[in-house]
Structure 1
Amino acid sequence: MGQKGAETRVRILDAAQELIEAGGYFSAGLNQVIAASGAPRGSLYFHFPDGKDQIVGESIRRAGQEIGTAVEDLAASSASVAEFVEGVLRHLGDRLEESGWRKGCPVATVALEMAAVSDPLQQTCAEVYTSWTNALRTRLAGRQDADDLAVTILALIEGALLLSKAHRSRESLDRVSGQVATLLR
């Protein structure tokens, strides 16, 4: 694939990712992706022969990797686990607020919409969540309850993002940050 083809593919994924994060699986119809990306219809089918689910799956993986990279960076630069989780919540809160309360978790909406009807998308969502849980578990290494805490913290983060998006307020994220600090003592 040449540079122009690669750029078109990236534009399609960028557009799909924006649509998915803002409104989930059903807001990222092929016509919407084409319009948002400016790509010709034929390019969409050339780069994504398996159609919409392939585009959505790759978009979720990309978004998951972006969040995962931010989480890894915060893990490396934080002095304590509580500071690390506080940094993750702050990062996600900034992202949510800067997007006009549209970009919460890039996986949650698709997971809720599609987990029961699409095995490939369910597996993709599960893979992203597993990678985030593993990043948390790694930062909690040495604690006897690291596995349970990693899942608990991720669940608290996901819930706080949902509530913050619904209320258009960072209050839930701030409260969860305080409770995680208490939980980790």
Structure 2
Amino acid sequence: MARRTEARAHAIATAERLFRIQGYTATGLTQILTESGAPKGSFYFHFPRGKAQLAEETIDQYVTRRIAVLSEISANTAGDAPSFVEKVFATFAAEMVASNFEYGCLMQNLANELPALDAELTRRVARGFVDSTEVIANHFRGCGFTPARASSTAAALVAALEGARTVARLERTPAIFEALAEVSLHRCAASEG
């Protein structure tokens, strides 16, 4: 039983890594099987609908982790919008550096390929952005932002983070995260003032 669970977890971890580096369409099932070490029969036991089901479950786990990270940052910076913004940008920048600037955002990579994806994948990606943006908006509401201002600031922060990943991958430096954190801090100061 532990082996089955291990094979499933390896397949999901491998799919996430490959989707984040090269995208969904460019990642073939054969590559996932080879790199995860999963036998084909075991793979289809865990993912009877194949690559699409694997992608769905990979998105779900990725979003769960992303929300947990954002929630932890929020809890550690309760009531402090500037510290929250700084910590979010620093955390995302550190992840980029740790991956040697190879990893994009799983949801962003898949969203860029939406015409090639099925409706369920599209729905999950969209839901992932909505749910993680809401965690950020909740933090800003807890800092005294009006609901409308909290939502717009959260949406802007998410867009900035996703764009920063793209620029950081191209430039191979986290400098864009620092620049956007500074701009975002000015927005937070204006929101609080």
1:72/1:135 contact within 8 Å kept = yes
1:22/1:103 contact within 8 Å kept = yes
- Residues 49-88 of structure 1 mapped to structure 2, 5 A cutoff: 49-78=48-77, 80-88=80-88
Aligned-CA RMSD value = 1.3
Deviation above 4 Å: which 4+ runs of structure 1? Answer: none
Q: State the SS of the aligned residue for 1:140.
A: helix
Who is 2:132 aligned against?
132
Q: State the SS of the aligned residue for 1:107.
A: helix
Kindly indicate whether residue 174 of structure 2 is the aligned counterpart of residue 173 of structure 1. Answer: no
Who is 2:156 aligned against?
152
Q: TM-score under structure 2 normalisation?
A: 0.90
Which amino acid in the other structure matches residue 109 of structure 2? Answer: T
In 2, Cα distance between the equivalents of 1:36 and 1:51? 16
Which amino acid in the other structure matches residue 156 of structure 1? Answer: A
Who is 2:92 aligned against?
92
- Residues 97-108 of structure 1 mapped to structure 2, 5 A cutoff: 97-108=97-108
1:85/1:180 contact within 8 Å kept = yes
Who is 1:119 aligned against?
119
Kindly indicate whether residue 168 of structure 2 is the aligned counterpart of residue 164 of structure 1. Answer: yes
Which amino acid in the other structure matches residue 125 of structure 2? Answer: C
Higher relative contact order (CA 8 A, sep 6+): 2
The structural deviation recorded for 1:27 is 3.3
2:18/2:27 contact within 8 Å kept = yes
Who is 2:145 aligned against?
143
Q: Number of residue pairs matched?
A: 184
Q: State the SS of the aligned residue for 2:173.
A: coil
The structural deviation recorded for 1:114 is 2.2
In 2, Cα distance between the equivalents of 1:110 and 1:99? 18
In 2, Cα distance between the equivalents of 1:64 and 1:102? 19
In 1, Cα distance between the equivalents of 2:104 and 2:66? 11
1:104/1:162 contact within 8 Å kept = yes
Which amino acid in the other structure matches residue 96 of structure 2? Answer: L
Who is 1:32 aligned against?
31
Deviations 1:64-92 (A, max 9, x none): 22121111111111151121121111111
Gaps in structure 2 of 5+ consecutive residues: none
2:11/2:38 contact within 8 Å kept = yes
In 1, Cα distance between the equivalents of 2:94 and 2:117? 32
The structural deviation recorded for 1:117 is 4.2
Which amino acid in the other structure matches residue 145 of structure 2? Answer: R
2:25/2:116 contact within 8 Å kept = no
Q: TM-score under structure 1 normalisation?
A: 0.94
The structural deviation recorded for 1:3 is 2.1
Which amino acid in the other structure matches residue 177 of structure 2? Answer: L
In 2, Cα distance between the equivalents of 1:24 and 1:153? 23
Deviations 1:29-78 (A, max 9, x none): 11011011101011111110111111112112211221211111111111
